[in-house]
Structure 1
């Protein structure tokens, strides 16, 4: 932040980048105690995993296994 006469120039990106650090400093100054930094949660990416559970020559057997898996709330993709 710089002052030009009566006008203040504010860099929002710098402020956002240092926001947690500024809050920690203010809290420590006001409380007189050191604040333990809380680690930011790690973002996890969802990965689709696919497994082949059978290969059938008879459609009845395929339908039977598909019904069993659906009862167990397993998402199916039937190819064939």
Structure 2
């Protein structure tokens, strides 16, 4: 029911980017400047990735791709014998 509502309401067509530096949650309450990161991390933008249709709840391909990504990053063996 929720996926249908989101699809029909145009939720997935809203592509306005969030300007994180303007959000009060990320500013120092006393002086109003951006807070320094406590746990810095790198952001990598992916291009040309496949998109799942909003009315499809099958995530098998994405799970398999994520497992492959983790196995590559963590240098796991291709086959694990049990």
> Higher relative CO (CA 8 A, sep ≥ 6), structure 1 or 2?
2
- Is the TM value for this pair above 0.5? no
**TM-score in terms of structure 1 length:** 0.22
Q: TM-score, normalised by structure 2?
A: 0.22
Q: Which has the higher strand share?
A: 1
Tell which structure's C-alpha radius of gyration is larger. 1
